[in-house]
Structure 1
């Protein structure tokens, strides 16, 4: 199996929430250690990733500080104890994520491609003519142009190709013009590409297809406890979920001796029956800046969602026509709650 050259755009790090110790980056590291992938980058991407880590964590500072100030009663409760234990938790978190990024770069042995020999004339010609990767004359797209030009020149000289992982449509358009650069939109797409070289790939797809209706029904049953009100004082009492379907074909991210992992996107409609604060019938005390008591009323909210789903198929063996004993479980929305926002302004 041929070694795959891979480049990660900053957007991939952002999409995966800089979780360098998470399952996707760990899987990438495993493939690199197994000699399946060589990872490439540029100093531009390195600086962009660090800048975005700074920006993303800094955006949480005001919220975290407000929790420490306004929710002091939670200081000695198990879910919040660690936040109050540190004097400057955001600073500590920032340093941890940066250290994790440094460890990721070291463990994956990323090779930096030099950008000092790029064709500057071609870059600015594309800039003024609004050609990919420029969708318009935006200065912030110039770093991408330098990176892509460097990658193109590098792999032209090597007479090889590189997979460009990005969520940026302008990068996709640029790759379509250059045979050396092959666009993929996610780490899961890369993992699926590698898994497709496994003789068991089609068998796993067959198992999924045979159990798809069962998988959707099980997810539907499990979805109820995942809904929570976002910006409303109240509770979700009941949820009806309908029209469940997978948006994409399954991406197989891993195949083991008797198991497989798949990644999909699920779409569905919901009707949520909720009890929410009735502001009009709840007397407000301006001195204490709080309600004397709270009355609640019934509200019904309708919505549609698209969420990521991971499917785990266990207890399967290659060659079984109908693995009736296959154990199938699903993790949806990255084990996070699904928030319901009110269409009304209650406060």
Structure 2
């Protein structure tokens, strides 16, 4: 097959592979997912997607327009990162006195073109490793796309939203591919304008996260999936305990005042959602391993202290404010966290289970605000 940008060009006569008589699930991953995961192809969900493709459980589709959109966002984000580094140099100037830090990325301009090219190369390598099939947008039904625009149908919606034309052409391309193959395609996108596309594109359906798609794959192919899900629910108390412990070790930053976060206390862990993204059977008597991606809402109290600038006096000689009072208060906060969870369990009753690993990976630091939002606990 011909190649474009290191990614295979799709031959529409090719049938989708599968295992055990079950056909692989076709999936298209929107640019919003790549951006949301910071182009990190070592993320557990990207790794699980690649493994699902190699195991012939999934078939990854991309379009040439989507690839170019991701590349454009990479270069844009590199530019933003470069500007952010320049802005903090004055504040971080004391670090120049540390020999090991003087030549760090903070104090040296990055070569944006070179850095962007490296990230693009990583993207192309991931698509190659995941055997992504490229469907050219030239296959799109242009007239149908404009009909959707004038009728305000998804992905255009109210106001017609001209910026949605690239998405509309991508969806039309995927729809044409699906009709020609007589197969369905699952679209993974965080774009709310994608919701409701089934009415215009009957063979397309939307899920909001890569983890949700991977959970569908695992449930479709794995007989042990319900058992793994049940064991997760039976061990939620221990999982919550480990989440709380790891959360307390994060960095807490007072974002809206010049002050400190002195102490934090978790008050509640709720809203846990868990997607089973991979399941490996044990061999030779070894236990099975289930990999989950967890999302949870953690509510907590934070004791903060900061200078009260409202009562400060102004030193005209040094041209600085001199605070005379320190504010100490407790604020109520919440944070949405994500974690990787690995459960090991015996494959025969009574299913002895062990939490092999729980890694809270997002966020790394938590911003605390002295002025609480009126919309607490909803952002």
Distance change >3 Å, CA 45–CA 340, structure 1 → 2? same
Q: Quote the offset at 1:138 in angstroms.
A: 1.1
- Are 1:120 and 2:142 an aligned pair? yes
- Are 1:338 and 2:366 an aligned pair? yes
Q: Which residue of 2 aligns with 1:104?
A: 126
- The CA deviation string for residues 8-63 of structure 1, in whole angstroms up to 9 with x for no partner, is 11111112111134333232222223332222111211121111112222222222
C-alpha distance in 2, partners of 1:107/1:290?
57
- The CA deviation string for residues 249-292 of structure 1, in whole angstroms up to 9 with x for no partner, is x2111222332221222123222111223335666656656567
Q: Which residue of 2 aligns with 1:311?
A: 341
Alignment of 1:56-71 (within 5 A): 56-71=77-92
Q: Quote the offset at 1:211 in angstroms.
A: 0.9
C-alpha distance in 2, partners of 1:78/1:133?
51
- The CA deviation string for residues 58-96 of structure 1, in whole angstroms up to 9 with x for no partner, is 222222012234423213366785315744255543232
Alignment of 1:258-337 (within 5 A): 258-280=288-310, 285=315, 296-314=326-344, 316-323=345-352, 326-334=354-362, 336-337=364-365
Q: 1:225 aligns with which of 232, 244, 249?
A: 249
Q: Which residue of 2 aligns with 1:193?
A: 216
Could you tell me whether the CA contact under 8 Å between 2:185 and 2:205 is conserved in 1? Answer: yes
Q: Which residue of 1 aligns with 2:9?
A: none
Q: 1:147 aligns with which of 170, 177, 181?
A: 170
C-alpha distance in 2, partners of 1:98/1:329?
32
Q: Which residue of 1 aligns with 2:376?
A: none
Q: 2:265 aligns with which of 218, 223, 240?
A: 240
Q: Quote the offset at 1:126 in angstroms.
A: 1.3
Which protein is richer in strand relative to its size? 2
Q: Which residue of 2 aligns with 1:46?
A: 67
Distance change >3 Å, CA 192–CA 220, structure 1 → 2? same
- Which runs of 5 or more residues in structure 1 are unaligned? none
Q: Which residue of 2 aligns with 1:174?
A: 197
Q: How many equivalent pairs are there?
A: 341
Could you tell me whether the CA contact under 8 Å between 1:176 and 1:182 is conserved in 2? Answer: no
C-alpha distance in 1, partners of 2:101/2:255?
19
C-alpha distance in 2, partners of 1:61/1:245?
37
- Are 1:202 and 2:226 an aligned pair? yes
C-alpha distance in 2, partners of 1:124/1:153?
15
C-alpha distance in 2, partners of 1:289/1:323?
67
Q: Which residue of 2 aligns with 1:130?
A: 152
Scaled by the length of structure 2, what TM-score is found?
0.80
Q: Quote the offset at 1:219 in angstroms.
A: 2.1
Which protein is richer in helix relative to its size? 1
